[in-house]
Chains A and B, each alone.
Chain A
Amino acid sequence: MLAYIGRRLLATIPVMAVVAVFVFMMLRLASGDPAAIIAGNAATAQDVIDIRQKLGLDRPIVTQFFIWLGHVLTGDFGESFFYKKQVAEIIADRAGPTLALAACTLGLSVLIAVPLGVVAAYRHGTWLDRVVMGFSVLGFSVPVFVVGYALIYLFAIRLNWLPVQGYQPLADGVAGFFARLILPSLTLSVIYIALIARITRTSVLEVLGEDYIRTARAKGLSNRVVLMRHALRNAAVPIVTVIGIGVTLLIGGVVVTESVFSIPGLGRLTVDAVLARDYPTVQAVILLFSLAYVLINLLVDVAYTLLDPRIRY
């Protein structure tokens, strides 16, 4: 197992190298010039040239790439063109809200979706099953921003129970932290609840038809024990896969939710940086996301062996 993990970690190096080249080149080839953006409306051509020079954008692209790569290899992602802050510092500031939102969403999704999926499978064909599946279809179909605005209207504007927007770090108070995360997490989790509940239902339904379930029932085990110990555990591999995919999608896919709820996270940082052509920030964030994807996939693969001893690497 350790050898497998080691091999997988080594395999991330070429993946990250490809991502680095790809992101760097895409940004340079895309239209847009950070120097012209910084210079503003009344700038002369010379102003723009001066700023390009200051930012090092007047150098050949290959030279720029190797300078950047050299810095990245030493852990230096450079300085944001706009904020004049180290990119690592900006990302560290923005990672908290995104991770908190992702964790809350995931926790909420798993806590709601897995029991729903299990119950739907257990009550297969009944009204309960149809309600859960109906919710799943709705969850997939309604755009995130519509859910967000609807929840804001109900809980923040009409009832005035929760804040409309913003983020409060955990260090500033647990209540405020959760109060500001409830609506965005609920919004974002709708689609994941739908996805995980559907997969859980299908997977558990498949397992419930297996001989060992019939054997377990014949032994007189209670429904709860049959479902939790025998059915769910054997159905876990596809569920964990979907949760893993969900985590990776969550990290990169929180942009809309972060915008609707004005959460200063990595999603909005990425969009702002792309719009402003803040190359160092975009490059660092994409590299970070890619690394997260690779590591989460590795974790999911390792989790398979814990859930199903028959799986060996």
Chain B
Amino acid sequence: MSISRWLKTAVLAAVAGFAALSGTPNAQAQGTVRAVMHSDLKILDPIWTTAYIQRNYGYMVYDTLFATDADGQVKPQMIEHYEVSPDQLTYTMTLREGLLWHDGKPVTAEDCVASIKRWGAKDTMGQKLMTFVKDMPVVDAKTFKIVLSTPTGLVLAGLGKPSSNVPFMMPKRVAETSPNEQISDTTGSGPFVFKRDEWKPGDKAVFVKFDKYKPRAEPPSGLAGGKVVKVDRVEWKVVADQQTAMNALFAGEVDYIEQPQHDLLPLMKADKNVKLVDVNPLGNQYALRFNSTAKPFDNPKIRQAVLYALNQEDFLKATIGDPQYYKVCKAMFVCGAPLASTKGMDGLLESNFAKSKALLKEAGYDGTPVVLLHSTDLQVLTNLAPVAKSLLEKGGFKVDMQSMDWQSVVARRAKKDPPAQGGWNAMLTSWVSADILNPVSTAFLNASCDKAPFGWPCDTELERLRDQFARETDPAKQKAIAEAVQVRWTQYPTHVFLGQWYQPSAVRKSIDGIIVAPVPVFWNMTKSGA
């Protein structure tokens, strides 16, 4: 045998030997779903941070009193029934029978009251709700009341809030932790138990079915209904490289990629074993945020000029590309959602540069450069700032675009320093639509000056309208107030919404029963052969 033939045989034998020894790589436990999520799970407290990966973790481990269904309606979840007093000041909540914590102890009303308090201290909507709450007395082990000082529509909307921060129920001993301290106890009452001993940050997070979970009898709908777990185990794998994640999906090593890159979607679509599933029909919304405290955007008229200079399609084309995955939408509270309206939007977001320049002249814009933060390392955000720069310049602005990684943008946007000294004027980000469905939950509409998130807008009229929305319980009137908010926003822009985009998940065809909801959830999911 020649050396080359011997070498070839040896290499093939070695590789084949290892392949045989290790078994077929995709021969996995049928009851295990392996998912590549959008981020590594680092923090185990979904109240302490608003990050989406913690929210997703929360839905695995914890349960909620109420939940939003596929039609956007808030439905009881842990609650068996609730009553509202005729004066709408007292909500009496009764828990379902048989709810247990993962340590086997029963869920009590005391646990829920403590959990609501912790959430209410941290979440924007929760904080608003708590301004109406006078008391939350515990009636018995299964019943508690929420007593209000004034009627508000926020009780159910808040407790059934689908996205960050979600009011997850925790045992009292855990919920009594200060909202500014991270919890470390992962005991929940949700459909999955977190396997802390198998948690390897940077590698994987493991959840197993909670055998004693008592699902509701109704079929699942959105985040509401029966959370019936049909697999034994879910593993969230950390695969930082998107190409590798896709290859692993093709090879059957993972079953699910939560957020594949848009440029890889055609390849995935073409694979016979993979399907694309749009689990979040409301999608996401791009936004440009102003720093309302620094020149030139401290002047609302100059911010209005931006509304005229920009248009949504340019941003969506540059980032998402395929029109199948984006929608131009002039409704602040998301097209397809209950409060969607285009009132006040005529002529805006159409790149009317002449109008933009006229407004700048009227406002006395002195050519102060706009410091625009450009995030360079997140694919879905990278192309936004260059588009904004180009359109703003055409609209008469001078723009100083500064490029940096996303975490530097995050640090920079928290600074109130003047833009020339390390501050900023504008930055771009994206929201999951579920976070921005009404004026109270939309963080960028919070115009309470120093108490508002970065950008710190300050407008008593916007705050008055948000407060009015919070007090209103009639959905029709709520919609009218939401429209008024949108009209006020056109006069006092706090941010610019730049269109909706959609993120399908890539899934092996062996996976079925995926719930359509704004949050990826793993109940009802089946894996062929399981």
Chain A residues in contact with chain B, CB under 8 A? 31-33, 35-46, 48, 50-51, 54, 82-85, 90, 93-94, 149, 152-153, 155-157, 160-167, 173-176, 178-180, 182, 259-262, 264, 268-269, 272, 275-277
Contacts and interface: CB of A to CB of B under 8 A. Distances in A.
Interface size class of B (residues with CB under 8 A): 35 or more
Given A50-B180, A179-B19, A260-B244, A157 B411 contact: no
Given A85-B201, A264-B202, 15 more contacts: A31-B411, A36-B413, A41-B429, A41-B443, A42-B50, A42-B435, A94-B202, A156-B25, A164-B244, A164-B248, A164-B251, A178-B22, A179-B25, A180-B22, A275-B405
B431 interface: yes
A40 B50 contact: yes
Sort A-B residue pairs by CB-CB distance and give the 6 closest, nearest first: A175-B21, A179-B22, A33-B411, A40-B50, A264-B203, A42-B443
A160 B18 contact: no
Nearest to A149: B243
B243 A32 contact: no
Contacts of A264: 200, 202-203, 238
A291 to B, nearest CB: 22
B414 interface: yes
A36 B410 contact: yes
B49 A38 contact: yes
A164 B450 contact: no
B404 interface: yes
Contacts of A162: 15, 18-19, 22, 25
B414 A157 contact: no
Which of B201, B451, B452 is most buried by chain A, counting CB atoms within 10 A of its CB?
Answer: B201
Interface string B172-186: 000000001110100
10 contacts: A33-B411, A37-B411, A45-B414, A83-B201, A156-B247, A161-B19, A164-B25, A164-B251, A173-B22, A180-B22
Interface string B440-452: 0001000000111
Interface in B21-66: 21-26, 40, 42-44, 49-51
B158 to A, nearest CB: 14
Interface of B: 15-16, 18-19, 21-26, 40, 42-44, 49-51, 124, 164, 180-182, 184, 200-203, 237-241, 243-245, 247-248, 250-251, 253, 377, 404-405, 407-408, 410-414, 416, 429, 431, 435, 443, 450-454, 456
A268 B244 CA distance: 14
A268 B24 CA distance: 27
A157 B241 contact: no
Contacts of B26: 160
Given A36-B411, A182-B15, A166 B43 contact: no
Contacts of B410: 32-33, 36-37
Given A41-B443, A149-B243, A179 B202 contact: no
Nearest to A162: B19
A16 B18 CA distance: 42
Nearest to A48: B414
Contact of B43 (A43, A82, A261, A262): A82
Given A37-B411, A93-B200, A262-B238, A44 B452 contact: yes
Given A45-B456, A262-B244, A37 B15 contact: no
Nearest to A50: B180
Nearest to A94: B202
B382 to A, nearest CB: 15
A166 B40 contact: no
Contacts, number: 168
Instruction: Label chain A's interface by main secondary structure.
Output: helix
B18 A163 contact: no
Which of B19, B124, B182 is most buried by chain A, counting CB atoms within 10 A of its CB?
Answer: B19
B33 to A, nearest CB: 16
Given A156-B247, A164-B253, A41 B21 contact: no
Given A43-B50, A179-B22, A268 B180 contact: no
Given A36-B413, A41-B429, A262-B240, A272 B18 contact: no
A31 B408 CA distance: 6
Which of A31, A162, A176 is most buried by chain B, counting CB atoms within 10 A of its CB?
Answer: A31
B15 A45 contact: no
B247 A268 contact: no
Contacts of B184: 84
Contacts of A46: 450-451
Contacts of B237: 166, 262
Given A31-B408, A155-B15, A176 B239 contact: no
Nearest to A40: B50
Contacts of A41: 50, 429, 431, 443, 453
A268 B251 contact: no
A41 B450 CA distance: 15
A152 B201 CA distance: 25
Contact of B404 (A31, A39, A160, A261): A31
A183 B132 CA distance: 60
Given A164-B248, A269-B202, A179 B21 contact: yes
A42 B22 contact: no
Contacts of A48: 414
B247 A161 contact: no
Given A50-B180, A179-B22, A42 B240 contact: no
Contact of B164 (A40, A51, A259, A269): A40
Nearest to B414: A36
Contact of A261 (B19, B49, B244, B452): B244
Contacts of A167: 203
Contacts of B25: 156, 160, 162-164, 179
Contacts of A176: 22
Nearest to A167: B203
Nearest to A179: B22
A164 B247 contact: yes
Given A36-B410, A163-B25, A268-B202, A178 B18 contact: yes
Nearest to B45: A84
Nearest to B412: A31
